[in-house]
Amino acid sequence: MFRLRPPMTARGLILKSACRQQSTSASEAPKRKASFGKIVGRAAGAGMLVVAGLQLYHLNNPTEEERLFNPATVFARLPGDKTPLEERMASETQYMGLSVIPYRGISRLWGFVNDIELPMWAREPVYKAWTYAFDCQLHEMKYPLKEYRNLGEFFSRPLKEGARVVDRDPRVMSSPVDGRMATIGVVDGSQGIPVLEQIKVFVDPRPGLTVSQGARYRMDEFLGSIPDFFSEKTPGKRLYHCVIYLAPGDYHRIHSPIDWSVEERRHFPGNLFPVNSLAVNFVPSLFTANERIALLGQWKHGFYSLTAVGATNVGSIGISLEPELVTNLGSQDRLGGTCLAKVYEAQHLVSRGDQVAEFKLGSTVVLVFEAPEDFEFSVQPGEKIRYGQPIGRFTKEATPEGPSTFPSTAELIKHAPPSRSYFGEVSHLLGKVFGSALQETTEKALTSDKIADSRESLGPAYTKE
C-alpha cells in the first residue's frame, strides 16, 4: 500500500527555502575562513622567502666595512697583511654560514649511496652515464664495467697493466695522481711563520718583477708541526710544495712519487668543504679546515710529506699502510681541530709507483718536501697531468745519484722511533732488502708489537691548554 504525501503548503515552501539558504550560507562560511587563512599563510611564506633571499644576498655581498671589521678569524693567524685576494674572501659571518651546512653528514649519505650494490643490468648504463658526465677513461680500466658492484668500486677502479709509464729516474719526481696542477712553489717562511699557497695569483707591477698575491694557509696548521728544515737549515736546500686537484672523472688512486721512508701518519678530522676553484678562491685556509691524512717521512734529500685532503662527498680516504683506518665517522665529528697521529713502529720503505692511498671520488693531494735548490717543477699551474709523469727534476749536471732516492741507512737510523734499538733498525732494513721472513723472525725477538700512542695536539693550532 502506498501512502500519498500531503501537498506542501505555501508556509512550508517558505520555511524549506529559508532552511536551504541557511544551510548554504553555513557551508560557505568555513570556506571563506579557509581562504583567508591560505592568503595569510601564503603572504607569510612569501615574506620569509624575501627575508631569506635578502639575508643570503647580504651574506654573499658583505660591505667593505664588514670585510674590514669582521674578517675570518683565520686571517689573524697568518703573518703580515692580507693579500688582495684574501681581502675578497669570506668574512667571519660568511664562514660561519658555510660551516652550518652539514658537509660531513652529506658526504656520509653519498658514501652510503656509493656502497649500494647495483643489479647487473644497471651497472653499464649507470657507469657510462657517469663517464659521459665526467669524461672517465674506460679503456684504462683493469676489469669490465659489470665487475664493479657499486659506484664506490667504480670510482676507485684500478688501472690495467701498462696504462701508465712511471718515470723512475732518481733525478725526477713523478706525479702521484691523475689531476690538474693547482699551485707550485717554494714554502715562504720569511715572516717567521711558514705558509703554503692555496691559490696563486700573479701580478706584474712593473716589467721584470712578478709577485704572488694569492691565498695562503699555515704549514704548521696543515701538517701539525713545522719540519726540522726551519730549525736545522741546510745550505743549498729549500722546502717546496705543490697542490694537485683530482676531478670526479680522474683515476682516484694515489701512488708514491719517489722512493722514501714513511715514518708517521697524521689524521686531521675536519670539515668537508668543496675544493673546486670557486671554493679555494672564497674559503680562507680551506685545506687546514678540511679532513685530511698526512704521511710524513724522509727521502734522500730530507723531509718529505704527502697529504690527501678530503672534500664534499669525498670523506673516505683509504691508506694502504693502514687498511683498517676509516675517516669521516660520526664519532669524529667533534674532533675538528685535533690531530690523531700514529708513529710507525717500523719505518715503511715505499718505492716509487707503490700505491699509498685512494679517494672514493676525487679531491686534492698536497706534496711538501725538502730538496736542493736546483730542483725545478717541469709543469705549470693549470696543466693536466697523469700518474707517473715527471712533475719536477734536478737541473744541474748529472752526478752519481744511485738507483733510488731512498734515504741512507744512517738517516733511517737517525729517524728511527725511540723504542727501536740500533740493531733492531738494521735488522728491519735487512728484512726489507732480503725478504719479509728475515724481518719477521728478527723483529719478533727485538721489538714489541705495541704501536706508538696517538697524539692529539701538534703545532700551535692543536695545542691543549
Same domain, 89 and 218: no
**Assigned domain for 462 exists:** no
pLDDT tens-digit series, residues 231-249: 877 788 999 999 999 988 8
Q: Which of 220, 250, 252, 255 is catalytic?
A: 255
Our count of domains for the chain comes to 2
**Assigned domain for 448 exists:** no
Percent residues over pLDDT 70 in the chain: 72
Whether 436 has a pLDDT exceeding 50, the answer reads no
For residues 138 and 160, is the Cβ–Cβ distance under 8 A?
Answer: no
Range of the domain at 82: 49-100
Q: How much is the pTM?
A: 0.77
pLDDT tens-digit series, residues 147-164: 999 988 898 899 998 899
**Assigned domain for 122 exists:** no
Q: Which domain-ending residue is among 340, 368, 397?
A: 397
**Assigned domain for 153 exists:** no
Whole-number Å distance between alpha carbons of 306 and 366: 6
Catalytic residue flag (residue 374): no
**Assigned domain for 350 exists:** yes
Same domain, 230 and 93: no
Whether 297 has a pLDDT exceeding 80, the answer reads yes
pLDDT higher at 8 or 219: 219
**Assigned domain for 295 exists:** yes
Same domain, 78 and 221: no
For residues 380 and 181, is the Cβ–Cβ distance under 8 A?
Answer: yes
Same domain, 77 and 179: no
Residue 265's closest CA among 220, 206, 305? Answer: 305
Residue 316's closest CA among 102, 100, 109? Answer: 109
Whether 182 has a pLDDT exceeding 80, the answer reads yes
Whether 420 has a pLDDT exceeding 80, the answer reads no
Burial of 437 (0-12, 13-18, 19+ CB in 10 A): exposed
Q: Which domain-ending residue is among 363, 397, 431?
A: 397
Same domain, 239 and 383: yes
Same domain, 189 and 337: yes
Give 191's DSSP letter: T
Q: Which of 188, 363, 427, 428 is catalytic?
A: 363
Same domain, 351 and 264: yes
Q: How far apart are the first and last CA of the chain?
A: 103
pLDDT tens-digit series, residues 102-122: 999 998 998 888 889 999 999
Same domain, 241 and 381: yes
Residue 298's closest CA among 409, 419, 389, 390? Answer: 409
Q: Which of 178, 188, 250, 259 is catalytic?
A: 178
**Assigned domain for 64 exists:** yes
Same domain, 212 and 348: yes
Residue 93's closest CA among 46, 130, 58, 120? Answer: 58
Catalytic residue flag (residue 305): no
Q: Which domain-ending residue is among 397, 424, 442?
A: 397
Residue 316's closest CA among 329, 303, 304, 306? Answer: 329
For residues 261 and 356, is the Cβ–Cβ distance under 8 A?
Answer: no
Residue 11 pLDDT: 52
Across the range 312-339, mean pLDDT stands at: 89
Residue 244's closest CA among 375, 135, 385? Answer: 385
**Assigned domain for 440 exists:** no
Catalytic residue flag (residue 252): no
Burial of 79 (0-12, 13-18, 19+ CB in 10 A): middle
Same domain, 210 and 79: no
Across the range 352-376, mean pLDDT stands at: 93
Mean pLDDT of the chain: 79
